[in-house]
Structure 1
Amino acid sequence: MASLNKVFLMGNLTRDPELRYTSTGLAVASFGIAINRAWTAKTGEQKEDVCYVDVSIFGRRAEIVGEYFNKGNPIFIEGRLQFNQWETKDGQKRSTLRVVADNFQFIGATSKR
């Protein structure tokens, strides 16, 4: 059976991107985005929900995100979900779900650092 792992997200950065380089020189930018969703409840009351997502992006795209994006800037992300599991030194199991971005788009104006 075929499978598909593709995500499209649009939201605002929750923190400045953290740009670093691997030992092989590959750029990696990590940041969070907040995606807001508004709806009307059956009672007519306006409701809002926020989903926070951690994102990583690699290569030249990571350098561009690190240079041109700041906390609060809107961004459109295209990527895939990645699930990581590990065990801490004291034996506790941990896991995280994040988006690995393949591409992004500027939405509106961004401020240059």
Structure 2
Amino acid sequence: MINNAVLTGRLTKDVELRYTPNGVAVGTFTLAIDRRTTNQQGERETDFIPVVVWRQQAELCSQYLKKGQQAAVVGRIQVRNYENGEGRRVYVTEVVAEQVQFLSAPTGSNASAGSNATNSNATHSNSSSSQQSNENPFAGDQRPIDISDDDLPF
């Protein structure tokens, strides 16, 4: 069976970070994604897709993703349900992220931080080398990049 979702959109608000009773980080945010087609009034409609991220990836998203920034999410669609305080069954459909790619440039004091969060066990090998590898060598540099056609994969 295949359950794979790939989304690109903008955050509607900052990531909400919480912790389970066992201390596991869980982050939630909503991606606003414009539809390709327009409605009868000629306007594009927008879908608002809830996303859940776990563990270190949730902490990284909370630290570096802010309202309005673009992000790409690869994950799976999950439907869960619970009984609310009124005794009614509530169904929730959401995307559980396996990878989150930060597409907007970071702002503020975190500007030199990384632009990618993947599965928590593949994110950082150690803190000193990850700090250096997360810096964008092309940030603020508008010069052309000298690459031979032989180096391009296509």
TM-score by structure 1 length? Answer: 0.86
Tell me the alpha carbon deviations over residues 33-66 of structure 1, each in whole angstroms, 9 at most, x when there is no partner.
100123367x8x7430100011110111111100
Q: Structure 2: which amino acid aligns with 1:8?
A: V
How many residues matched? Answer: 109
C-alpha contact 2:38 2:45 (8 A) present in aligned 1: no
**Bigger Rg, which one:** 2
Pairing 1:87–2:83 present: yes
- Which structure: greater strand fraction? 1
Aligned-pair Cα RMSD in Å:
1.9
The 1-side partners of 2:16 and 2:84 are apart by 23
Q: How does 1:1-113 map to 2 (within 5 A)?
A: 3-39=1-37, 46-111=42-107, 112=110
The 2-side partners of 1:95 and 1:30 are apart by 17
SS in 2 for 1:91: coil
Tell me which stretches of 4 or more aligned residues in structure 1 moved more than 3 Å. none
Further displaced range: 84-93 or 68-77: 84-93
Instruction: Answer 1 or 2: higher relative contact order, Cα 8 Å, separation at least 6.
Output: 1
* Unmatched segments (≥5 aa) in structure 1: none
How far did residue 75 of structure 1 move?
0.1
Percent of aligned positions with the same letter in both sequences? 33
TM-score by structure 2 length? Answer: 0.65
- Which structure: greater helix fraction? 2
